[in-house]
Amino acid sequence: MFFLTLFLLTSIPAGAQEKIPLDHTVYDQWKDLGGQVISDDGAWISYEINPGRGDGWLYLYHTVTGRLDSVARGFKASFVPACNALVFKIQPPFEQVRKARIEKKKPDDMPGDSLGIWDLTDLTITRFPRVKSYKVAEEKSDWITFQYEKARPAMDTLKVSEEMSVEQKKEVEAEKKKIRDENRALRKAKGSELVILNLARDQFFSYPDITDYSISKAGDRISFIELTGDSITHARVYCFETATMEVKLLFNQDGEARGVVNDRSGRQVAFIHTNDTVKTKIFSLYYWNDGETVSRKVVDTLTAGMQSGWCVSEHKPIHFSDDGTRLFFGTGPRPRPEVRDSLPEDEKVSVDVWKWDDPWIQPMQKVQADNERKRSYLAVYLLLQKKMIQLADESMEELVTIMKGNGAVAAGYAFNPYRRLITWESGRTGDVYLVDVLTGRREKVITATRNRVQLSPGGKYLYWYEPADSNWYAWSTEKKVGVNLTGTIGTSFFNELMDTPEPSEPYGIAGWTKEDRYILVYDRFDIWKIDPFFREKPVNLTAASGRVDTLTYRFVDLDKEDEFLPLTGKIWLRGFHSYYKKSGYFTVDIGKASVPEALVYGDYSYTGLARAKNVDRLLWQRGNVAEYPELWTGNARMREERKISVTNPQQSRYLWCTAELVEWESFDRQKLQGLLYKPENFDPSKKYPMIVYFYERMSDVLHTYSSPRPLSSSLNRTYCVSNGYLFFIPDIPYTTGYPGHCAYNAVVSGTTYLVNRYPFIDRDRLGIQGHSWGGYQTAYIITRTDMFRAAEAGAPVSNMTSAYGGVRWESGMSRMFQYEESQSRIGGTLWEKPFHYIHNSPLFSANTINTPLLILHNDEDGAVPWYQGIELYMAMRRLGKPAWMLNYNGEAHGVRKWGNRVDFSIRMMQFFDHYLKDAPAPAWMEKGIPYIEKEWNRGYEMAK
């Protein structure tokens, strides 16, 4: 085990050496913190720190003594509920995995993960090699279980030589045959070894050939499936009782069993089984409880309640209700039998038929094909009544239960009749049903709504936001009547900053209190506590202080297990100042209206608040533009706080950035905000080039840290500023029908304001960059102005007329909805608003572009078809204007592979350095890279 004390993590003292600009070599070493967990007793905190590429560390911090230990390459950690151990996985060394990839090793031959168990009493670590998975009980327990990967076939290195005697040759051949036989058995093995381990008593149990396993919530029972056999598969299902350490055989038949689950207590077990040997199998549902000797079949194709031609589905996980009286599972039409391939390739037909009124267009059908083949519908087996109830079906395909499966009613949704509308609508339209879980009887409550209708956690109300009048409604499941919850309040509950031509959206809700007594609804700033029976008047729980102070309050859920908010006592809120961008954590008494009490609040971004299960020990992250969001811990009032992580001590060696909020009036007299980033060694007497980056509204990230990483689609603002650039991010509001002009109005007015106000900005050295929606806006803006000396547009829509009729290939959806109702904001069809489509398309004004343009568009882009980038590139080419296009082969909407991201970062900075800093042009810009040289010629060097 590797130990690292806290003083070794201390940053290098500021001023110990002259700070240097960031360069492209820092990407691998910059790290991120994540995976933080806190033990139930609050005594221990674990977290990971991982670099962009390479080996990370798992840390263990003791909140009483402050001791900090670590282990290399640890990840995915869980505290054992008894608080005596930390269980985690260990990745193989990065270079070992990289070497195996270079050698193109098969998946079974790749280095595998290990399992680590960190004893919290003596801080020793026990390792188990090549572990596939592990599970830990949710409640107080000393038991864990884990499964090894399948054993690898042994290497046959034995050789027979002429010098051997006859007997020696026979022995070698016998040993070689033994290895071949063992390897053959290993390759045919269906499962692998399962280990059940008691950490307190150091007791160890092992079972071979296990394919699936489950541990009950309290850790009382562990169930698992064993599959054996060669030509005929044989299934056994076992239950291990942790109190007695006895194993019971629950099931023993030929065939295949899957999906074993326990109920909360472990006294009940369920799984599915089939005797079929063909690829398309028909499963049955089996059940056992500790009052029975063996499991029994409870649902098959002949069970009353099963639809004709249907069967139990293997594709929906089975689960018990929290009280253990119901067993939920999936059903669906019997799978179609395998079709024998009896035709040669040249006689086969492969054709897609696009019918005008298909519910989904063919590309979307293709993307969804596997989901549709596996589609299953929720059913329930009532264990006390021994009765199956089909809850959902093809006429009402989705169903959501409440109270962890204990609720008497559920909400059902039928979207299938309205699938066609998704072609041009941004949301889903459907019918809403109230479903009796005990009988399956359903009542249609709402027809053809696009509203997100949900069932309250206690089942007393269906509730939704109605865009038509911007109010929240509730429908009583008992009285069968609806009520307007917010109509008498006199404040807005729609998103006041929403500027897309679709139905308005609400700010949402915090939740419901116990027994559905109150619903807590958000307006832009405050939280309203509303009695759906109207026995009490609605109350502004935060005493309207949010709107007065422009502070947005939102509930922070520190108890994920409880579906309800409490009726009394303090609840936690996160506050965010919409103007100054400060944030913090607050508490307010849910029982009465009052100004929330600030526990921490300032010029930071506070995130990730969590609480130990059994004590008031808190965990959170705090950071800003210059401070990585480190992990902090403190008491229930966030006092006695301590920073427990140091993620990037090397940052002190590099020039960093500062960020400030700027405000200006746009050309149409709107007050707008934006962010201006400067180098920490900023000198107002110098002239700085500036790059402008944008998307929509981004000023809320004022206090957000930006790691110097090679990004998938944009410039890294920290890298740019460290290398002597200013970086400006303006907010953009929109008007329906004129998205391009709105971008011009905000971006150019903001840039003009800055260059006129600040003489340190070099107005002759301005760049502009954006990706996707930002890429479109970049392309549009440079058709309207020559103020930018260089531009990069990533995945830009250049021609809205061709893009309108295109397809988002990743989802298979038509692009029409995006223009009619969503982000592109045209607000009508191509035939209703042809002028708007043409006027907002950069392609039709490409002849006015005088700005050198770098385009990124990849050939597997599933969001914006890459022919949009090609159209713009071809226009620039035909017009004889300087333009380059980067296509990372096989990449999608952004650049994902690490090597490609680094390459893109280098090329983009070389492009802007050339135009904004007069750096020599690299060879790829001057000479290009011929296709036959692309494998080896990067062209980074300066052209001669």
* pLDDT value of residue 187: 61
User: What's the number of CA atoms in the CB half-sphere (13 Å) around residue 64?
Assistant: 5
Q: What is the pLDDT of residues 646-676, one digit of tens each?
A: 999 999 999 999 999 999 999 999 999 999 9
Query: 900-927: string of b/e by CB count within 10 Å (b at 16+)?
Result: bbbbbbbbbbbbbbbbbeeeeebbbbee
- pTM here is 0.91
Q: Is 183 a residue whose pLDDT tops 70?
A: no
- The rounded distance, in Å, linking the Cα atoms of 693 and 714 is 8
Pairing label, strands 319-320, 326-333? antiparallel
Burial of residue 600 (CB within 10 Å: 0-12, 13-18, 19+) is buried
DSSP string, 677-735: EEETT--TTS-EEEEEE-SS--GGGTT--------SSS--HHHHHHTT-EEEEE-----
In 872-926, at which residue ranges do the beta strands (DSSP E only) sit?
A: 883-886
Span 431-460, average pLDDT? 96
- Using the predicted structure, report yes or no on whether residue 311 has a pLDDT greater than 50: yes
Residue 799: predicted pLDDT: 98
Give, to the nearest 10 degrees, the angle between helix 773-781 and helix 739-757.
70
Q: How confident is the model at residue 158 (pLDDT cuts 50, 70, 90)?
A: confident
Task: Determine the pLDDT at residue 182.
Answer: 65
User: In the predicted model, is pLDDT for residue 14 greater than 60?
Assistant: no
DSSP secondary structure, 211-251, as one string: EEEEE-TTSSEEEEEEEE-SSS-EEEEEEEETTTTEEEEEE
The dihedral through the CA atoms of 784, 790, 794, 795 has a sign that is positive
What count of other Cβ atoms lies within 10 Å of the Cβ of residue 758? Answer: 16
Write the CA distances from 580 to 159, 599, 700, 744, integer angstroms: 76, 18, 9, 25
CA distance 312 to 634: 50
How far is the C-alpha of 70 from the C-alpha of 48, rounded, in Å?
Answer: 9
Kindly state the average pLDDT of the residues 487-507. 93
Tell whether the model's pLDDT for residue 327 goes beyond 90.
Answer: yes
The distance in angstroms from the start CA to the end CA of the chain is: 53
Question: pLDDT at position 891, please?
Answer: 96
Task: Find the range with the poorest average confidence among 10-14, 177-181, 837-841.
Answer: 10-14
Confidence of residue 15 (pLDDT cuts 50, 70, 90): very low
Read off the pLDDT of residues 683-731 as tens digits, 9 standing for 90 and up: 999 999 999 999 999 999 999 999 999 999 999 999 999 999 999 999 9
Measured between alpha carbons, how far is 287 from 294 in angstroms, rounded to an integer? 9
Output the six-digit token pair for 771: 């990706």
What Å distances lie between residue 625 and 257, 702, 753, CA to CA?
53, 7, 24
Mean pLDDT of the residues in the chain: 93
Residue 528 in this model has a pLDDT that exceeds 70: yes
Instruction: Read off the pLDDT of residues 259-297 as tens digits, 9 standing for 90 and up.
Output: 999 999 889 999 999 998 888 899 999 999 998 999 999
Which range among 140-154, 234-248, 355-369, 383-397 shows the weakest confidence by mean pLDDT? 140-154
Task: Indicate whether 11 pLDDT > 60.
Answer: no
Q: Provide mean pLDDT across the span 63-89.
A: 95
Q: How buried is 505 (Cβ within 10 angstroms: 0-12 exposed, 13-18 middle, 19+ buried)?
A: middle
Contacts by 105-112, CB closer than 8 A, 24 or more apart: 108/150, 108/152, 109/152, 112/149
* pLDDT score recorded for residue 154: 65
Place of tokens 């019997």: 334
Separation of alpha carbons 303 and 870, rounded Å: 58
